[in-house]
Chain A
Amino acid sequence: MAAIEMKNIVKQYGDGFPAVNDVSIDVEDGEFLILVGPSGCGKSTLLRMIVGLEDITDGDMIIGGKKVNDLAPRDRNLSMVFQNYALYPHLTVYENIAFPLRLAGKSDSEVDEKVRDASKTLELDEHLERKPGNLSGGQRQRVAMGRAIVRDAEAFLFDEPLSNLDAKLRGQMRTEISRLQKRLGITTVYVTHDQTEAMTLGDRVAVMKRGVLQQHATPRELYENPANLFVAGFIGSPPMNFLPAKVDGNRVELPFGTVTMPEERASRAQGKDLLIAGIRPEHFEDASVVDSDKVTDEATFKATVDVVEWLGNEAYAYIPFEAPDEVREQLTQLEKDLDGESLRTQLVISLDGASRISEGDEATIWVDARKIHLFDPSTGENLTIDADSAGIIPDGNAMAKAEKVGEEQDGVKPGADQATS
């Protein structure tokens, strides 16, 4: 077991494109770190650099106090679970799990003991003599994990291990991985594009965008204090709502009405014209089910509900709104970065199951103004962040830096086509 330190890691491909751009992350001994981000953000490349399957262009990779930049994968003593499992189809499950031990030249009795031990942990006992081709997806996944835990590796590395499983199995295996990691207490780096996995599994989560680290913090810190628009939009489901906002003193003007923010938070956003307000769906509520002492005119607004999705314990209400072009452009770009597609600007509100609001109603909605975040639309920075409980945010504007990389990659700068026409 060992800590993993990444210092200013850079990965540049032959054409000069930086897949990973100056990333520094410390993984403590025994910690469960999640690398998360949309596809193409360099998270898998970073993982492959840790394990040694990808060369490091610049920076230091230190595992257990030893610099391993130039070591071959087999000399790093790490174990890895691949996205497609990469089981050896010509070997039985037993031999698949025993493979690393056989390579290490362990005696037959020791191999047998350890393989049986691992297969018991993963409930593979009755499949030991079968070939991987005859196993189900979940079983193959467990064999791949067995091969990883059977030897005393310094750390586990997972590359999107659950993405090939169906939703139910994914949930079960997620719990299983979490339990296993807690029990073995081994340093783990886990790559995923799924924010649910990131939130539930990780001790800490590193959010990446286009090869640039955006924020490295605990799931709670990420959720409550996102460093920028990107992190705010990526973490949480349904995602955070982004609304155009104008701040005057401690009053925030939103498309539906004006609410009053706490003085201290609002003061940090003074002097800017147009801002983007970020409010999570659960920070709205049907005013009729909120304690009456909280409901004041400063914290409520009236709006017509377009669609309601009732789920029993809660309901999601959708309220469309118009956004100025400046904000809309930023939101469309953000949606693109998050691998999504924005069809319309709308507010998603999570309502209590007891709420009686139905489609087409003009409803009175209460908003928890203490939880509103304000973002600078030009840089994406969170102006109302509580820096003490926001984990590690890299110096400089990470989101803008990633954007720049993206523009170079796309080869087209926004507005370039307008200039020529």
Chain B
Amino acid sequence: MAGNQSGKTAVGTWIGFALIMLWCLFPVAWIISLSFKSEGETAAGSAQFLPKEPTFDNYKAIIDNPDFMRALINSFGIALIATLLSVIFATLAAYAIARLEFKGKRLVLSLALAIAMFPVVALVGPLFDMWTTFGLFNTWPGLIIPYMSFTLPLAIWTLSAFFREIPWEMEQAAQVDGATSWQAFRKVIVPLAAPGVFTAAILTFFFAWNEFVLAISLTSTTASRTVPAQMSFFVGPDPFNPPYAQLATASVIVTLPVIVIVLLFQRKIVAGLTSGAVKG
């Protein structure tokens, strides 16, 4: 009876799983399929799933497009730098929040949350004005600074939760063993908080990589325009007939790094890394 019950549950789980996978991945499969179709095929409004004559022409065209490659470099550079800075600052801030008692701790945390709740669109106007005045308009820092600021709150919250989980004895043991506060932090606390650091890094990177509103508003040339913004310039000769195949190809190319990064970091995000630190 019990076996039958659990068998039924397993079948139900798998059916649900398959449905969700189909729901999520079908559009992705469609985009991939589209990227292998020739322009003539998409323009004809063909509705079949698999391309009639698979072709790499779209990929060649995209790679030969200097504007797109330039945007790709911008995207990588801006997203990586923003992630790195955000994670470093967030780690330091979160550690202070988790470990130290200081006045205004609640204020810092509430402010961070308030910033996270602020709609990005509302800041576009003021930022545009400020950046043109400061000469940051259409530069890398012009995008890195807002990306970093918008991801910091979430990173701080995530990381301080991780730091709070680490037994304080770890750090005290390190200090007794002869470590300075900085050494204890770097050699014991940060490795233990690694899953949190990677989680924060991935979230930050995704935000910076996918962001569109600021990227289109605070840039004017390919000197700092990122891929999502650049893709909106793929209009083709006929405004009523956008180059769907090329857009799909560009989408596939920008998605690849995201998948690679998730796969790389996934192994680092292992729960229970601290198991065995203290009595089990």
Kindly list chain B residues whose C-beta atoms are within 8 Å of the C-beta of A317: none
Q: Which of B90-98, B170-178, B227-235, B250-258 contacts A (4 or more CB under 8 A)?
A: B170-178
Alpha-carbon distance A389/B278, docked complex (angstroms): 42
Across the A-B interface, how many residue pairs have beta carbons closer than 8 Å? 87
Closest Cβ of chain B to A138, distance in Å, is 11
Nearest Cβ in chain A — how far from B207, in angstroms?
A: 28
With an 8 A cutoff between CB atoms, is B161 at the interface? Answer: no
Give the residues in chain A near B192, CB-CB below 8 Å.
88-90
Q: Which residues of A contact B84 (CB under 8 A)?
A: none
Interface residues on B, range: 20 to 34
| B167 and A84 contacting across the interface, CB-CB below 8 Å | yes
Q: Which residues of B contact A73 (CB under 8 A)?
A: 172, 175-176
What's the nearest-Cβ distance from chain A to residue B29, in Å? 40
Chain B residues contacting A164 (CB-CB under 8 Å) are: 279
**Interface 9-residue window, one of A98-106, A239-247, A328-336, A407-415:** A98-106
- Give the Cβ gap from A390 to chain B, nearest Cβ, in Å: 35
B266 within 8 A of A: no
Answer whether residue B27 sits at the interface, using C-beta atoms and an 8 A cutoff: no
Q: Is B180 an interface residue (CB 8 A)?
A: yes
A29-37, A126-134, A177-185, A265-273: which lies at the B interface? A126-134
Q: Give CA–CA (A147, B169) in the complex, Å.
A: 14
In the complex, which residue of chain A has the Cβ closest to the Cβ of B279? Answer: A164
Nearest-CB residue, chain B, relative to A89 = B277
* In the assembled complex, A168 has its CB within 8 A of some CB on chain B: no
| B7 → chain A closest CB, angstroms | 34
A104 touches B178 (CB 8 A): yes
Interface size of A by CB at 8 A reads 32
> Is B4 located at the chain interface by the 8 A CB criterion?
no
Cβ of A85 within 8 Å of any chain B Cβ, yes or no, is yes
B169-198 residues at the A interface, CB under 8 angstroms = 169-170, 172-180, 183, 188, 191-192, 194
> Which residues does B use to contact A, with CB under 8 Å?
167, 169-170, 172-180, 183, 188, 191-192, 194, 273-280
Q: Would you list 18 pairs from A and B whose C-beta atoms are within 8 A, ordered by A residue? A: A52-B176, A53-B172, A72-B175, A73-B172, A74-B175, A74-B177, A74-B180, A82-B169, A82-B172, A84-B278, A85-B278, A88-B173, A90-B194, A104-B178, A133-B276, A133-B277, A135-B276, A140-B280
Known contacts A90-B273, A103-B177, A140-B279; 14 additional CB pairs below 8 A are A72-B175, A79-B176, A82-B172, A86-B170, A86-B172, A86-B173, A87-B276, A88-B173, A90-B194, A99-B177, A100-B178, A133-B276, A135-B276, A164-B279
